Structure 1
Amino acid sequence: MVSTSSVVVGRETELSLLDERLRAAGRRDCDPVVLLGEAGIGKSRLVAECAALAFVAGMPVLRGRGGSRGAAMPFRPLTEAMASLFRITGPPRAPELAPYRPALARLIPEWRDSARPAGPVNLVDLSEAVLRLLGVVGGDTGCLMVLEDVHDADAESLAVIEYLMDNIAGMPVLLLLSQRPLPGPPLALVREAARRRTATLLELAPLTGDQTRALAAHCLEAGPGQVPEQVLDRLVRHADGNPFVIEELLGAMTDSGALRRVRTADGRPGWRLDGDLGPQIPDTVVRGIAERVDRLGPAGRELLEAAAVLGHRFSLSTLQATTGLEDRQLLSHIRAAADLRLIAPDTAPGDWYAFRHALTAEALLSTLMPVERSALSRRAAEAVERAGVDEDAPFAAELWLAAGESGAAARLLGAAGRRTLAIGASTSAVALLRRAHALSPADGYATPLVEALADAGLSDEAFALAATLPPAGRSTPEREHRAALHTTLAWAAVTSGRYDEAERQAGAARTILGPDPRPVSLAAIDVVAARLLMEVPGPGPDQHVRAEALARGAADVAEAAALPEVACRAWQLLAGLARRDGYEEGDRCLERMLDIAERHALPAWRMQALLRLGVNEFLRTGESARLEQARLAAGELGAIVLGTSLDVNLGLQHVLRGDYPAATAAADRCERATLRMGNPGEHRSVLLTRAALAAHQGQRRLMEYELARFEQHGGDRSPHRALLFGLVRAVCALLEENHALAADELDRALEWELRHPTVYYLAGRYGLRVLVEVLAGRAGQAEHDEIAAAPAARLRWNRQFLLFAGAVLAGRAGRAAEATALFEAACEAAAPFPMAGHLGRRLVAEAAVTDGWEAPVSALRAAEEYFHAAGVPAVTNACRGLLRRLGAGAAQRRTGRDRIPPTLLLQGVTVREFEVLELLGEHPGNQSLAQVLFISPRTVEKHVGNLLTKTGLPDRAALTAYARSLD
């Protein structure tokens, strides 16, 4: 019998590249590799060699393959790849994977929480989670992830694979794919990846004539000249360089006796041609396989024919149910088929086997008469369906189709489509339901197909198919179900800005419900109507009032009728409407939404409520506790996309709070993630945060660089453009002491807001701009009071600037006590925002000096200290100049200044004065101090006098006691 060659022939270039890529994976510098070639060309052999190299190098290996049993089920190759490694070792326990475990639970059973039902699949969340998991598995050594037969992969797995190929750069992973060059999405995916240079495509060419001869020699374990030339010529002419066909032809020659092992005259082993080589391929391959199968006897042949009907891979339990064989007979035939190298145990767990090559199963099928194949398919379909495994329903449907039973196939495909839609794999659900609908249009598969299309984002097709649905029946449940379908489409339309379509779908829902619908049936439609009133300008001025009435009524009905998701949507809408009048009512709406979500175990809605409450909390108070809580909730749910959005929000808040290291860390985390996740809006927000981070530290060149990147990524389309002027450029100008430029930037922010309906409350209109205009004398008390009356003025970021502006106006009007009180209130409001608070102190101190009210010297010293430490020279110098004008003197920064307590620094105590104070407890006399410090007693007396003035202590005895307390 011919054996498989122990040497890989003709693939030296490919093996060298795979070896180099494995080493590069350990260095985190490895692009994915795709092996593309026809069946039998050697893809599996290269994969096996690469896996062996990885094993020798101590690298973890994950292996999965696309499904070959009918319609592919979601995430089959990925789940198998995870199981191939973790069923022995268990999944990794790295703490950095904690936020990703809920998403990965879709693929790793050990991480499933029976107390927390899995929510719908978010493909970006899952893809990012797989990427992070591979990073942990790869660690310092690198790892290999092999996904074979990608041409058979499901749509969801293809989406994850595409994400990995685009983003795996810099990870310790070699992603190795293999597939046939069959037309369709998988082939388009890898060719596009190769075009964009995010993957290396290795198209396996047929072996050359010399390579074919070498492979034959290795298979026959023969040396030079030991294989008859006729045999080699036949292989070169008819095997087309396909290694599998070469091996099969050799096997057919040896099995038939045409090619025999002999000993030459000198006693060496060799081969002799003793008969006809037979017909040409592919019939030769088919006949060779058939002859080998015939050696199993009639029962064995029937067994393998049934296995071929089940596909390239099959389970023994299903095969036994199809054939009716007893255990002993079944195992006997399986062992014999394995001995003949027709089948082998599969890598999947359990009782799975696989044909040695897909061509083997195809050759067996080609020998069956149509009636035989139909009968076998029917028996196999019945066996698979009796097993009752939901994941096998699409495969059973394919078997029913092969048996000519399209109705049974449609029934199973429709049921599988509904189940798949329920777990959120809408793309696969669409494929299943499309087929069911095509096979049996009259059996009601159109309605769930419309739902799946809408859920998959295929709105146009969903709208078109919905228009062809037959009229709803007369029964109330049927009419309400159809109305709910149109309402779902209406909400999808309104959230995507297709307001005309939303009105059509909502109108269709109302028409179906008839003239006297139940209020509970109208609740969701009323929420859509309220959203339309908010978004689409109408003829009347009371749209806001009407929208609120509709949303509030829907919320009440939905809560009474136990429709928690409709209630959450209504309360979220009411919270947005309430912001026009302040945040208190908006927060009450969001708290109601949060309560409903928690009572009804709706984690996604809970997280949405926490996010909005967190944003409101920060705007009002400057605190971020609620947003941190929302981020934890996102981690528990595995909502990586929303978690990243929360991180982006927190990054900007860190900037405002002056925690620049935390802001940098958040921006670093989010920048690449938002690119990977294909979220351009959030990516622009990250770049704007980076620009604000630079601006709030007075780093103009870095700010301009980040703003240029912002523009390159569609900044002109960003709704945050007002922040660019009022929160970024204007602040940077103030830190450069360029107040005129700051005023211009704030004017640009206001101009942008007046031309756009969305108002960004941190862009300066309700705070910083008022202060700048008051300082410049272009705004007075009336303008200040008008802005102060707006709800946005109560936000803490804005309130600090309005209070500073109020202090300037009071001081200018001669109301010194009021000015001081307002200044102190402003400093208190600015507590969460150190940079902004110190900038306000510097600006108001100048006004105090100019207008002659009591200048806040200690506050000015604090500002000078802050900006000196922050490396903002323009404001530092301005503060020092003001201190000199006030006769207070600027701080001298000598060696040892870092030992001075902050309280004394703010009081203006110098390094030499602190040295005197430190020694005062041990050396109370001037003469003693002078000797220790090598200065004159008169100088000591001067320093003691300065210390008494700056500390406010009554006499030298009190100063000495204070000095001793410092110890």
Structure 2
Amino acid sequence: MLTSSPYVVGRAEELRVLLDGLIDARRGQGRAVFVGGEAGIGKTRLAADCAYRAVADGMAVLRGRGSSAGAPVPFRPVAEALLSLFRVSGPPQDPALAPYRSALAALVPDWRGEQRPAAPPSLTDIAEALLRLLGAVGREGPDRPPRGCLLIVEDLHEADAETLAVLDYVIDNLDGLPVLLVATLRQHPGPALDLALDAAARRQARRLDLHPLDQSQTAELAAACLSAAPGALPAAVVERVARDAGGNPFVVEELLSGMVTAGALRRDPERGWEVFGDLGIEVPTTVVRSVVQRAARIDPAGREMLNVAAVLGRRFALPVLQLVTGLDDRSLLIHLRAGIDARLLSPSGPVADRYEFRHALVADALLADLLPAERAAIARRAAGEVERAYPGLPGEWRQLVAVLRQAAGEPEAAARLFAEAAEEARQDGATESAVALLERALELVGGSVAGPAAASGIRERLVHALADSGRFDQARDLARTLPLGGPAALGDDRTAALHLRLARAAVSAGRLADAAEQAALVRTLLGPAAGPERTCALEVVEAHLALTDPAQAVTAPAGGRPDGEQRTAAAERLARRAAERAEAAGLPEVACQAWQLLALLERRHGFDRADGCLRRLLDLAVRHRLPGWQVDAQLRLGVNEFMRIGESVQLERAHRAALDLGALDLVRSAEATLAMHAVLRGDYARARALTDQGLEASARLRNVDHHQFLLLTRAMVAAHQGRRAEMTDVLAEFDRWDGADSLQLPLAHGNCRAVCALLEEDRALALAEFDRARRWEARHPSVFYLNGAHGLHPLLRALAGTGSAAEHARTAADHASALAWNRQFERLAYAVHLGRAGQPGPAAEAVEEAARAARPFAMARHLGLRLVAEAALADGWGEPVGWLRSAEEYFHRAGVPAVGAACRRLLREAGASVPQRRTGTEQVPEPLRGRRVTVREYEVVLLVAQRLGNQEIAARLSISPRTVEKHVASLLEKAGQPNRTALADWAARATSA
């Protein structure tokens, strides 16, 4: 009979925590819970009860388990969990998941399209994709309340390193998502326990440690297992179970099963359970004896099948089991049913042909009953059958056969297979699993007859894997242990390739001294006679060093240490030579690396030359079928087009291509640039949507440079609408993300604070901000050409009379002044100089040229008209009245009162009619109109929100301070605020809504 309780006993508090987690998930308040304890303590049963409650409540349930094959299979638990829900329907078709489909395909290869991504997604990409998928599954639809999602990962202690890293990321970012994550694990030392402890210490997860049942709980469980009323079991049974089981529910069930099987405990229809004979069973052999006894009742062929299954692991595939046992379909199913009836086996997971032992202790018990020679023989036979059935050993079969070869006493064969599995994992981006597999292979060959040569080959692969995983110090130290001579030596070429990989890793990590050391070693190994095909990849590294590290002698001229310009020129020479040599040698990826760097360096000479490098890169990528490089070139061409003419056609096309390819880094770069473009075009709603989307992800990914750029873009959204308080808050967040050390800092001064100051009619403050940007760039050469130095700043200097025509000619000669955003202001500055010199015709023509450049930029176009009109009125040229009317209309509709008021003041000074705006109530937001706030009062509200004083507001709106005071008093009454400070807070909220 079955001796299993129909309900959970003794875990009321733990179950309450899980059920509260389900409720919170349906409210959109995600959390994680770790359920820990020894084998058999009830972790799986508790998780199963949680899953049952979730299904009953209509929640989505995903369930996976750590691998038990003895070798890590990257992402196995997560992939199994996804398949448990999406095996038939596939992943959700939510459009928001489109950028993450290739990352999801890394978890479930069956979801891959025909075109595989050019490079495997990073762990953070995969983690972010999983997080977004779980959120989409738990929400169901934008207009419906979340249904909630439960993700269960069992046996986390057997999970691979990639799964642990992904779950760590997910756990840290569950807040605000309709997801409950439940993970079960044994509490022995290891990475899984470290994850649980760290997450709990960070207050990102809850730990539930299952302790043994006490005596009363054990008695209740025993009665439930035997379908007896509480207290109805014989006292001797309860006493013996309490003593021998140690409060372990699984052992309780096995003890009772053994008593019933042995006939020592029988059920009388009238008197209930009675004892017949000795109840004493030796511990700790209890479980082994119980399992062996049940297996012994199955016929010999069935028992052999169970033994083979135990050698294959806790979970096994029926096709493999059939191959090894030689059973026909009918016999296999008969024996399988017998194992299930004996409570030894059960179906496993979403795949129909996968089964598992009911508990890990069952498989352990069967293995313990086998002689070592029997286990080795079964493992050898199983390995051979799998190799014949699955040529090439695709997927997880290689790891399985490696484990079997090791169990069969064949360490060299096992090591070779582990090394091959590691290479496959590395190519798929699972670098941590690759490291673990190679370390296992290295242990196997360490004392084998294969000798040092095999160990050197594995160490070589391990250096590459460690470098890929970002563990540079370990990779470098391991490389130093490789023999330099003898039969185990790699040879100069392989050693040079190894240290070149370390040099590239050091450059990527910004470890310039280490990169220089490795590059010098490679140069020595290659020798002076090395051909260009062997040195071009090294020259790309040396070019990066020349650009970033002033200490590199390779870039120094005869006169001593090079300055920044000399280093840049040296880097350009090296990169160009590397590109040409790589192309001649048939090394397209090295050539792509070189042309990419050249495209950045050539910006110094103009964007035409930079585009030429990118078109060369694109041609190489197309001819050699390198889709990642192809999209990279398209994106960079799109960025250049945007900067040159203010259009985004190519950028939009590159964004779609990156989405199709699943190149998430390129997708993010394209979206960030599109957000910046939207700001400059005045499409603030789109810019806000794109930055909202990107900021959330970049903060989770800790992508500092990308997050800084998005914060600056968001600050520009506020600055270009004259919202100083909002801009200041965002720039404060930029500073918290180390903005003071960012190469993008000039944008904060020039395109945020300075522009905002101009929209407040504070030209002195704008000039001061531009000066700050100029001083910073004098110390830190920058490639950010949109910070005002080549356009808006020269215009302000021309208007102030502090910039000469000769100075302007030097500015105009710089290629950066030809970029569309800069050219609109540069032409206006030129017009001011011409008008002041008494050349009205050429001055007006310059304004027309500025208008053509400014066509994409609505706000900037009208700001330029307001600025140049003042000079045109003073010097008597152009059409300043028309320009002012156009600017006044735009800024009135845009809700920028200071500039609108300045335009009206200048119109009055010109003797022109001035539009009356006090009846334009459509500009006042509905909540303020409901409080009877007038148009003029709304203009005051906008400035009060920036915490300006009455004198400043009066100057901005060209009214008297006394009039401002009356408006403020009226607003205090209408807003129901007690004082000026409270009114400023209210105004900030009202104008930012």
Same fold per superposition (TM over 0.5) = yes
Mapping of 1:232-251 within 5 angstroms?
232-251=238-257
Q: Does 1:494 align with 2:507?
A: yes
1:953 aligns with none
Residues 778-789 of structure 1: matches in 2 within 5 Å?
Answer: 778-789=802-813
Q: Is the 8 A contact 1:473 1:479 kept in 2?
A: no
The question of whether the paired residues in 1 share the 8 Å contact of 2:757 and 2:765 is answered with: yes
Deviations 1:584-622 (A, max 9, x none): 101100111112112222122122212222222111111
Corresponding residue SS for 2:460: helix
Is 2:115–2:661's contact at 8 Å kept on the other side of the alignment?
no
Partner of 1:531: 544
Q: In the aligned structure 1, how far is the partner of 2:872 from the partner of 2:327?
A: 100
CA distance in 2, matches of 1:49, 1:77: 19
1:805 equivalent in alignment to 2:822: no
Equivalent residues in 2 for 1:16-55, closer than 5 Å = 16-55=16-55
SS in structure 2 opposite 1:814?
A: coil
1:222, CA displacement in angstroms? 0.7
**What is the CA–CA distance in structure 2 between the aligned matches of 1:159 and 1:640, rounded to whole Å?**
18
- Supply the AA of the counterpart residue of 1:524: A
Partner of 2:586: 562
The code of the aligned residue for 1:487 comes to L
Write the deviation string for residues 627-664 of structure 1: whole angstroms up to 9, x where unpaired.
22221122112122331232222222211111111111
Residue 571 of structure 1: how far off its partner (Å): 0.8
The answer to whether the Cα contact below 8 Å between 1:572 and 1:590 also exists between their aligned partners in 2 is: yes
Moved more, 382-391 or 457-466: 382-391
Amino acid at match of 1:51: A
- Secondary structure of 1:80 counterpart: helix
- In structure 1, what residue type is equivalent to 2:667? G
Q: Which residue is 2:797 aligned to?
A: 773
> Within 2, Cα distance between the matches of 1:117 and 1:756?
37
Residue 380 of structure 1: aligned partner: 382
Q: Shift of residue 546 of structure 1?
A: 4.1
Residue 850 of structure 2 is matched in structure 1 by 826
Closer, same or farther: CA 744–105 of 1 in aligned 2, 3 Å? same
Deviates more, 1:713-722 or 1:747-756: 713-722
228-237 or 110-119: bigger deviation: 110-119
TM superposition score normalised by structure 1:
0.89
The aligned residue for residue 409 of structure 1 is: 414
Shift in alpha-carbon separation, 1:46–1:554, aligned structure 2, 3 A: same
CA distance in structure 1 between the aligned counterparts of 2:737 and 2:489, rounded to whole angstroms: 51
1:89 match: 89
Look up the SS of the partner of 2:586 in the other structure.
coil
Aligned partners of 2:780, 2:583: CA distance in 1, in Å?
35
Contact between 2:691 and 2:713, CA under 8 Å: does it hold in 1? Answer: yes
The TM-score, its normalising length taken from structure 2, stands at 0.86
Does structure 2 conserve the Cα–Cα contact (< 8 Å) formed by 1:103 and 1:637? Answer: no
2:579 and 2:2 map into 1 onto residues whose CA distance is 75
Task: Say if 2:62 and 2:82, in contact at 8 Å, map to a contact too.
Answer: yes
Pairing 1:448–2:461 present: yes
Cα deviation for residue 759 of structure 1 reads: 4.2
CA distance in 1 between counterparts of 2:906 and 2:29 reads: 55
> CA, structure 1 residues 291+450, in 2 after alignment: closer, same or farther (shift >3 Å)?
same
1:322 equivalent to 2:324? Answer yes
Which of these two proteins has the greater Rg computed from alpha carbons? 1
Q: Deviation of residue 476 (structure 1)?
A: 14
Tell me the amino acid that sits aligned with residue 556 of structure 2.
P
CA distances 1:645-699 after superposition (whole Å, capped 9, x unpaired): 3222222221111111111101111111111222122222222222111111111
The answer to which of 540-549 and 21-30 deviates more is: 540-549
Task: Say whether 1:222 aligns with 2:228.
Answer: yes
Question: Aligned-pair distance for 1:172?
Answer: 2.7
Equivalenced residue count is 895
> What corresponds to 1:656 in structure 2?
680
Q: In structure 2, what is the Cα distance between the partners aligned to 1:338 and 1:67? A: 21
Three-state SS of the structure 2 residue aligned to 1:105 is helix
Match of 2:516 among 473, 497, 503: 503
Deviates more, 1:569-578 or 1:312-321: 312-321
Select 1:293's aligned residue among 276, 295, 315.
295
Asked if structure 1 preserves the Cα contact closer than 8 Å seen for 2:117 and 2:661, the reply is: no
Q: Counterpart in 2 of 1:439?
A: 444
Indicate how the Cα distance of structure 1 residues 475 and 580 shifts in structure 2: closer, same or farther if over 3 A, else same.
farther
- Is the Cα–Cα contact under 8 Å of residues 278 and 284 in structure 1 kept in the other structure? no
Amino acid at match of 2:514: E
**Which is worse superposed, 28-37 or 328-337?**
328-337
Contact 1:149 1:179 in 2 (8 A): yes
Q: What residue is the counterpart of 2:274 in the other structure? A: 272
Q: Over residues 90-121 of structure 1, what are the superposed CA-to-partner deviations in whole Å (9 max), with x where a residue is unaligned?
A: 33333333222222222344532234466323
Shift of 1:880: 0.4
Contact 2:223 2:231 (C-alpha < 8 Å) held by counterparts: no
Structure 1 contact 78–107 (Cα < 8 Å) conserved: yes
Quick one: which of 649, 666, 676 aligns to 1:642? 666
Q: Where do 1:540-555 residues align within 5 Å?
A: 540=557, 543-555=567-579
> Whole-Å Cα distance in 1 between the matches of residues 379 and 921 of structure 2?
89
**One-letter amino acid matched to 2:903:** C
Question: Shift of residue 5 of structure 1?
Answer: 1.0
For 1:147 and 1:231, locate their aligned partners in 2 and report how far apart those are by CA, in whole Å. Answer: 36
| CA deviation profile, 1:226-274 (whole Å, cap 9, x unmatched) | 20111112222222221111111111111111111114xxx3x511111
In structure 2, do the counterparts of structure 1 residues 746 and 115 end up closer, same or farther at CA, with 3 Å as the change threshold? closer
**Alignment equivalent of 2:166, drawn from 160, 177, 197:** 160
CA RMSD between the two structures: 2.4
* Greater Cα offset, 577-586 or 531-540: 531-540
Matched, 1:137 2:143: no
Corresponding residue number in structure 2 for 1:461? 474
Structure-2 separation of matches of 1:10 and 1:111: 42
Per-residue CA deviation, residues 380-422 of structure 1 (Å, 9 max, x unaligned), is: 3333444333312223222322333221211111111112222
CA positional deviation for 1:798: 1.4
The match for 1:255 is 261
Q: Map of 1:390-405 to 2, 5 A cutoff? A: 390=394, 391-405=396-410
Residue 690 of structure 1 is matched in structure 2 by 714
Runs of at least 5 residues in structure 2 that lack an aligned partner in the other structure: 141-145, 447-451, 924-993
Provide the residue aligned with 2:698 in structure 1: 674
Partners in 1 of 2:33 and 2:801 — Cα distance?
67
Give CA deviations for 1:890-932 in whole Å, capped at 9, x if unaligned. 1123768989xxxxxxxxxxxxxxxxxxxxxxxxxxxxxxxxx
Give the match's secondary structure for 2:524. helix
Partners of 1:848 and 1:721 lie apart in 2 by 34
Q: Secondary structure at the match of 1:276?
A: coil
Runs of 5+ unmatched residues, structure 1: 900-967
- Cα 1:897/1:272, change in 2 over 3 Å: closer
Query: Which deviates more from structure 2 when the two are superposed, residues 877-886 or residues 343-352?
Result: 343-352
Alpha-carbon shift at residue 760 of structure 1 (Å): 2.5
Letter in 2 for 1:628: E
Find the residue that maps to 1:177 and give its secondary structure: strand
Q: CA deviation at 1:495?
A: 2.9
- State how far apart, in whole Å, the 2-side matches of 1:225 and 1:175 are: 37
TM-superposition CA deviations, 1:145-197 (whole Å, max 9, x none): 22211111111222221222122322233222222222111111122222222
1:225–1:135 Cα change, 3 Å: closer
Distance 2:230 2:510 in 1: 74
CA 1:478/1:418 → structure 2, altered by over 3 Å: closer, same or farther? farther
Contact 2:426 2:434 in 1 (8 A): yes
- Work out the CA distance in 1 between the residues paired with 2:669 and 2:220: 58
Conservation of the 8 A alpha-carbon contact between 1:644 and 1:673 = no
Is residue 472–residue 479 contact of structure 1 (8 Å, CA) maintained in 2?
Answer: no
Rounded to whole Å, the distance in 1 between the matches of 2:672 and 2:91 is 30
Contact persistence 2:631–2:657 (CA under 8 A): yes
- Contact 1:209/1:236 (8 A) holds in 2: yes
TM-aligned CA distance change 1:715 to 1:549, over 3 Å = closer
Inter-partner Cα distance in structure 2 for 1:636 and 1:552? 31
Q: Does 288-297 or 794-803 show the bigger shift?
A: 288-297
Q: How does 1:843-854 map onto structure 2 within 5 Å?
A: 843-854=867-878
Q: Percent identity?
A: 53
